[in-house]
Structure 1
Amino acid sequence: MRLRHKPWAKDYLDEHAGIVVKEPQTKKGNWAGVFRNDNPIHVEVGTGKGQFVVGMSLANPDINYIGIEHFDSIIVSAVEKVVDSDIPMNLRLIRANGKDLTEIFSEGEVSRVYLNFSDPWPKTRHAKRRLTHEEFLTLYKKVMPEDGEIHFKTDNRGLFEYSLVSMSEYGMRLLDVSLDLHAEMPEGNVMTEYEEKFSAKGQPIYRLEANYLNEA
């Protein structure tokens, strides 16, 4: 995806410091203090323009949501959505790389990780960049409790098949697998921008839920 440069993005993010957490590493182990409650924390890695994480935070006020995005020019769109939604108090955004999770969160601090329409990195030599590669699965495990869950959506069948294998070989338990999510739309499904786009074209949406409790 080619990023459109937005020279005003940094200033806009600075103006909304109540939404975008600066120096998130300093909050490690104290995110409950940031939200001022002990509600579960759900993290979306690669939050994009924010439609999913904003929608989830509005629909589930008893859960704290954190959206992580690496690029100013993308996360600024998520901030705009938060502002337009009257700034849900249970939502924060972080400009960071997904590889930095263990620098931002303590062990067991995150109850659930969402991975939505991640870059498939189709070339074999780029496999380690896929957010369901074993190295990323290890990162997620370090910040979640034993029963922490990963919820994953994609329109890319190759990435979905890879993710099924990767999680299974890692020893994770698959809780729910859908090869066509919209064939029977589950209650409470919040769509991302990509999900709306691809499903409107009749393209199947693949989804799975998994946790680190193996069946042994």
Structure 2
Amino acid sequence: MRLRHKPWARPELEACSFVITNPKDFKGKWKEVFKNDNEIYLELGCGKGKFISEISAQNPDKNFIGIDLKNEVLVYAKRKVEEKFKEMGKEVDNVRLIIGDITYVDEMFDKDEISRIYLNFSTPWPKKRHNKRRLTYPRFLEKYKTFLKKGSEIWFKTDHEDFFKDSINYFQECGFTLKYITYDLHGSDFKENIMTEYEMKFASLGQKIMFLIAAY
């Protein structure tokens, strides 16, 4: 679905203290950005921000970065983070939102800067000729390895079974260890799940959500 252009979105994002418009300038310097040595967790494709706003609020001892390409989407993530931290009566201190293209994510982060990646309902690109665009495809996994710490994890959720099965193979091909796999996340014993907007909608319709944790 084509997003309606919102001319006010970009100026609002640029005026926000926790939005980054030039992420490549901070490669290797993200601890300086957060002004601490806490681990940094990265959500690739943060959408309208339900996930990152909630997980950052629940984990003040971790830093969180969300990336999305569209101003018209990221502006709602920015507002959701602000609302969540306002509810808690504190300033936004452990979240940064990046306006950027995930294709160039390896140009934004340096060796050992990231301790976990979240891939929540990435586009499944079901046609064979488009598979290389998947965020779990080997060319992307190799990029992530350039900035993931050894022993770190990728948490991957999807409602697309073929995408999930293919991704299991991608992770194994690229040397990741699969620590946890379920084809029914909401019916599993996994207790740390935070639902995204997309997930809430499809789970309410009885759609099974698949999830895995891959360790590097």
- The TM tier, using the shorter chain, reads over 0.9
**Runs of 4+, deviation exceeding 6 Å:** none
Q: Which residue of 2 aligns with 1:41?
A: 40
Answer yes or no: is the 8 Å Cα contact 2:52–2:81 preserved in 1. Answer: no
Q: Which has the higher strand share?
A: 2
Selected match of 2:131 from 117, 127, 145: 127
Instruction: Name whichever of 166-175 and 119-128 sits farther off.
Output: 166-175
Contact 1:58 1:88 survives alignment (8 Å): no
Decide whether the 8 Å contact of 2:182 with 2:188 is kept in 1.
no
Q: Give CA-to-partner distance per residue, 1:2-38, whole Å, 9 cap, x none.
A: 222212111111221x120121111111111111110
Rounded Cα–Cα distance in structure 2 between residues aligned with 1:184 and 1:149? 19
- The runs of 5 or more residues in structure 2 that have no matched partner are none
1:143 to 136, 142, 147: 147
- Closer, same or farther in 2 for the Cα pair 1:206/1:52, shift >3 Å? same
Q: Do the aligned partners of 2:116 and 2:154 also contact (CA within 8 Å) in 1?
A: yes
Q: Which residue of 1 aligns with 2:110?
A: 106
Equivalent residue number for residue 63 of structure 1: 62
Question: What's 2:22 paired with?
Answer: 23
Q: Is the 8 A contact 1:99 1:139 kept in 2?
A: no
TM-score scaled by length of structure 2 = 0.94
State the aligned residue count: 211
SS in 2 for 1:29: coil
Deviation at 1:102, TM superposition (A): 1.6
- The CA distance in 2 between the partners of 1:58 and 1:88, in whole Å, is 9
* 1:157 positional shift: 0.8
- Report how far residue 185 of structure 1 moved: 5.7
Q: Give the 5 Å matches for 1:163-182.
A: 163-182=167-186
> Is 1:192 the equivalent of 2:201?
no
Instruction: Give me the CA root mean square deviation.
Output: 1.1
* 2:153 is equivalent to residue 154 of structure 1: no
State the shift of 1:68 in Å. Answer: 0.4
Task: Read off the aligned partner of 1:167 and give its amino acid letter.
Answer: F
Matched, 1:54 2:53: yes
TM-score scaled by length of structure 1 = 0.94
Q: Structure 1 unaligned segments of length 5 or more: list them.
A: none
Q: CA deviation at 1:107?
A: 0.6
CA-to-aligned-CA distance 1:98-130 (integer Å, 9 cap, x gap): 122221111110001110000011110001100
Percent of aligned pairs sharing the same letter = 45
For 2:99 and 2:188, the matched residues in 1 are separated by 35
